[in-house]
């Protein structure tokens, strides 16, 4: 999706175009790709289900517009690239990103990352009734490597606060050890991990579009409230 289409989409949404948007397709989506195009996965819960911690308007704009732009741009980049790349799994493109042609490398890093990260992020959150608790396995590894669940949360927040500008903080497990990582922009921990030893358990989006409408510049407050929407069942299931 180019910038003009993106602005047009935003304007339609702005005039109450929810119903309109549902029935309408943008040109980028109508385009026939020679491969199975990437489609952003919508959150599995209603967009107001994370209120009051993550507000409905943020979820709406973030999932319906920002996420879709990443997916569409990834499709456009793959369409231009050698067709062999579109046949590979996105995770494979991440793992081998350093060996991709320069143009595609940038697109996979930015738009591929944006597509995958948001699919993952929606699953890291859920309404309270579906959150559950950290599994015994997850609890054990967090205690082993951070001292306690509370220490993990404190260190995760510190990392997320320390992302300069846009990016993500992640909880990963690598070779049996839990670690907190920070990435810039839409980079994720799978990129360049050719040994496939990284399991991504949790990610938090600290791009301003994830919190600015409700929290403005108060990223720390957003990160404190984030724990109210964390889906521990999902995170626990990522630990294999
Ligand atoms: Mn985002």
Phi, psi of 108 (to 5 degrees): -65, -40
Is 20's pLDDT higher than 70? no
The predicted structure's pLDDT at residue 16: 36
Separation of CA 62 and ligand 1 centre (Å): 6
Separation of CA 116 and ligand 1 centre (Å): 11
How far separated are the first and last CA of the chain, in Å rounded? 37
Q: Shortest CA distance to 93 belongs to which of 178, 192, 187?
A: 192
Nearby residues for ligand 1 (ion, Cβ within 5 Å): 205, 207
pLDDT confidence band for 29 (50 / 70 / 90): low
Is 28's pLDDT higher than 80? no
The Cα–Cα gap between 137 and 198 comes to 17
Instruction: Give 174's strand partners.
Output: 177, 198
Separation of CA 136 and ligand 1 centre (Å): 30
Separation of CA 210 and ligand 1 centre (Å): 5
Separation of CA 10 and ligand 1 centre (Å): 16
The Cα–Cα gap between 215 and 52 comes to 11
Q: Which of 14-18, 40-44, 106-110, 202-206 has the lowest mean pLDDT?
A: 14-18
Separation of CA 140 and ligand 1 centre (Å): 30
Separation of CA 205 and ligand 1 centre (Å): 6
Instruction: Give 184's strand partners.
Output: 167
What is the average pLDDT across 98-105?
Answer: 97
Is 46's pLDDT higher than 50? yes
What is the average pLDDT across 201-215?
Answer: 96
Of 18 and 47, the one with more pLDDT: 47
Both tokens assigned to 129: 């009734």
pTM: 0.87
What is the average pLDDT across 75-91?
Answer: 96
DSSP 216-236: TT-HHHHHHHHTTTB-HHHHH
pLDDT tens digits for range 224-236: 999 999 999 999 9
pLDDT tens digits for range 134-158: 999 999 999 999 999 999 999 999 9
Separation of CA 176 and ligand 1 centre (Å): 29
The Cα–Cα gap between 188 and 112 comes to 10
Is 25's pLDDT higher than 60? no
The predicted structure's pLDDT at residue 34: 83
What is the average pLDDT across 115-133?
Answer: 98
Both tokens assigned to 187: 């980079």
pLDDT tens digits for range 51-75: 999 999 999 999 999 999 999 999 9
Separation of CA 147 and ligand 1 centre (Å): 30
The Cα–Cα gap between 234 and 144 comes to 20
The Cα–Cα gap between 86 and 196 comes to 20
The predicted structure's pLDDT at residue 90: 97
The Cα–Cα gap between 162 and 101 comes to 31
The Cα–Cα gap between 190 and 171 comes to 12
Separation of CA 214 and ligand 1 centre (Å): 14
């Amino acid at each position: 999706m180019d910038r003009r289409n993106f602005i047009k989409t935003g304007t339609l949404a702005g005039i109450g175009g929810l119903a309109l948007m549902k029935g309408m397709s943008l040109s980028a989506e109508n385009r026939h790709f020679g491969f199975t195009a990437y489609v952003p996965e919508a959150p599995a819960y209603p967009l107001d289900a994370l209120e009051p911690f993550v507000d409905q308007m943020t979820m709406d704009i973030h999932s319906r517009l920002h996420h879709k732009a990443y997916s569409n741009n990834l499709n456009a980049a793959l369409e231009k690239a050698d067709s062999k790349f579109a046949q590979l799994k996105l995770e494979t493109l991440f793992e081998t990103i350093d060996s991709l042609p320069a143009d595609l490398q940038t697109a996979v890093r930015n738009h591929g990352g944006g597509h995958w990260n948001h699919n993952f992020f929606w699953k890291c959150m859920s309404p309270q009734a579906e959150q559950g608790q950290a599994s015994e396995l997850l609890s054990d590894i967090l205690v082993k490597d951070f001292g306690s669940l509370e220490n993990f949360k404190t260190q995760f927040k510190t990392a997320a606060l320390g992302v300069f500008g846009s990016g993500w903080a992640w909880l990963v497990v690598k070779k049996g050890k839990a670690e907190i990582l920070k990435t810039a922009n839409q980079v994720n921990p799978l990129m360049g991990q050719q040994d496939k030893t990284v399991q991504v358990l949790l990610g938090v989006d600290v791009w301003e579009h994830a919190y600015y409408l409700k929290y403005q510049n108060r990223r720390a407050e957003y990160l404190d409230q984030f724990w109210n929407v964390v889906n521990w069942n999902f995170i626990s299931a990522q630990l294999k």
